[in-house]
Amino acid sequence: MKIRVAINGYGTIGKRVADAVLKQRDMILAGVTKTKPNFEANIAKSKGIKVYAASADKLKSFQDAGMDVSGTLEDLIRDCDVVVDCTPGKVGATYKPMYEKAGVKAVFQGGEKHDVAGFSFNAVCNYSEALGRDFVRVVSCNTTGLCRSLYALDRAFGVDKARVVLIRRGADPSEDKKGPINSILPDPVTIPSHHGPDVQKVLPHIGITTSAFAVPTTLMHVHWLNLELGKSASEGDVLSVLSSYRRIMLVSASEGVDSTSQIVEYARDLGRHRYDMPELVVFKESVKSFGRELYLTQAVHQESIVVPENIDAIRAMTRLCETAEESMKMTDESLGLGG
Ligand code: NAD
């Protein structure tokens, strides 16, 4: 059986999820929506992807630009089993009534509130709880990164307490109107930032407090973690656990991968499309243990880390795979992740 997937919102996340869907042998990309007939719409069409206008009032701009579209979002959702909503934060929730009325399942992104779906997803943490659901929210890039490492360490050693500082990229590379361009911005200045409570939507038992700062860079986020473990773990124990998980990549400063720039260079040299790095990247030499107290630094490529999670969410909701391991293996192999 092949599941027909529609993408509403073909921007940073939408175009990557669309490309990933095209690589799945159990999925068909039914089409994508665009709000305007720009270069992204042109490229999608040149790849053979069906482009739909986001709404009827946008049709004229496509006609004026001489670009044929296959209809509107309403037509697209009639022709699919699952919509992956990749519209900007808070916009997705406005579409939920339309998806409900059409009787299609929907995956929302981390810019929506947990309540939009009533269930927040991360593949390794709670795949089985997503089985058969109609609505799922894939958590944000930062929350996805934190869930991956905290889940692995909690399973192995227990995580009694997590204190995390997030150094956030100010904007994505294509966002020329966002900042800061000359500031370190506590985001927010109060504690906690929303990330800790968001992690608890997926891992409710982890006592986590987060503080976040936005800085003038577009490449990646960096997280500094200070954890109190349930039992002592050596640095070797921690590295061995982290390296045994899918979607966690250890990099070594001794080999020159010691910054977000170098991670991006590494991704380019690996031949990764758009220099995407959907793995959570942990700096090996940052892992420092003092018995039950652990420090580590990790980096998140915000544009791509949630892409494999979206694919797994589709499989869980449509019961294409009954287990996380089965789905994650298929996803990772198709996207060229892992060994
Ligand atoms: P984006 O702005 O890059 O893309 C959104 C796309 O939706 C654009 O193409 C825009 O034209 C289109 N759009 C706008 N209004 C629309 C509407 N009413 N109907 C249909 N399409 C519409 O945004 P993004 O970065 O891809 O973010 C999408 C979601 O993913 C958000 O919830 C965001 O929080 C989440 N997310 C973003 C990142 C990231 O770092 N960019 C990481 C993880 C999760």
Q: What is the tens place of the pLDDT at every residue in 173-189?
A: 999 999 999 999 999 99
Q: Distance between CA atoms of 77 and 318, rounded to whole angstroms?
A: 16
Q: For residue 294, report the distance from its CA to the centre of ligand 1, in Å.
A: 35
Of ligand 1's atoms, which has the minimum distance to the CA of residue 55?
A: 19
Q: Distance between CA atoms of 123 and 113, rounded to whole angstroms?
A: 19
Residue 243: which of 142, 145, 143, 339 has the closest Cα?
A: 339
Q: Are residues 166 and 118 in the same domain?
A: no
Among 80, 86, 125, 141, the one annotated catalytic: 141
CATH at 294 = 3.30.360.10
Q: Give per-residue pLDDT as tens, 239-289.
A: 999 999 999 999 999 999 999 999 999 999 999 999 999 999 999 999 999
Average pLDDT over all residues of the chain? 98
Q: How crowded is residue 146: how many other Cβ atoms within 10 Å of its Cβ? A: 30
Token pair belonging to 33: 């929506």
Phi, psi of 213, deg, nearest 5? -135, 130
Q: Are residues 226 and 133 in the same domain?
A: no
Q: Are residues 115 and 166 in the same domain?
A: no
Q: Distance between CA atoms of 95 and 106, rounded to whole angstroms?
A: 10
**Residue 307 CB contacts under 8 Å (≥ 6 apart), including other chains:** 13, 16, 17, 20, 276, 278, 335
Q: Are residues 146 and 258 in the same domain?
A: yes
Pairing of strands 82-85, 105-108: parallel
Q: Which helix (H) or strand (E) holds 62?
A: helix 59-64
Residue 186 Cβ < 6 Å to ligand 1: no
Q: Could you identify the residue written with the tokens 């900042």?
A: 179
Most ligand 1 atoms within 8 A of CB, residue of 19, 87, 140 to mutate? 87
Most ligand 1 atoms within 8 A of CB, residue of 84, 109, 300 to mutate? 109
Domain containing 179 equals: 141-300
Q: Distance between CA atoms of 106 and 228, rounded to whole angstroms?
A: 37
Token pair belonging to 77: 């959702």
Q: Are residues 150 and 134 in the same domain?
A: no
10 Å CB burial of residue 52 (0-12, 13-18, 19+) is buried
For residues 70-88, give the mean pLDDT: 98
Query: What confidence category does residue 339 fall into, taking pLDDT thresholds of 50, 70 and 90?
Result: low
Asked whether residue 21 carries a pLDDT value surpassing 70, the answer given is yes
Q: Is the peptide bond prior to 180 cis by the omega test (within 30 degrees of 0)? A: yes
Query: What's the structural domain count of the chain?
Result: 2
Q: Which helix (H) or strand (E) holds 107?
A: strand 105-108
pLDDT, position 338: 84
Asked whether residue 129 carries a pLDDT value surpassing 70, the answer given is yes
Residue 14 Cβ < 6 Å to ligand 1: yes
Q: Are residues 97 and 153 in the same domain?
A: no
8-state DSSP, 284: G
Query: What confidence category does residue 1 fall into, taking pLDDT thresholds of 50, 70 and 90?
Result: confident
Q: Are residues 151 and 254 in the same domain?
A: yes
For residues 282-310, give the mean pLDDT: 98
Q: Are residues 318 and 287 in the same domain?
A: no
Of ligand 1's atoms, which has the minimum distance to the CA of residue 112?
A: 32
Q: Are residues 166 and 42 in the same domain?
A: no
Residue 228: which of 175, 150, 142, 165 has the closest Cα?
A: 150
Q: Distance between CA atoms of 237 and 258, rounded to whole angstroms?
A: 22
Residue 295: which of 225, 246, 248, 207 has the closest Cα?
A: 225
141 is catalytic: yes
For residues 97-118, give the mean pLDDT: 98
Q: Are residues 257 and 191 in the same domain?
A: yes
Q: Distance between CA atoms of 150 and 158, rounded to whole angstroms?
A: 9
Q: Are residues 161 and 280 in the same domain?
A: yes
pTM of the model: 0.98
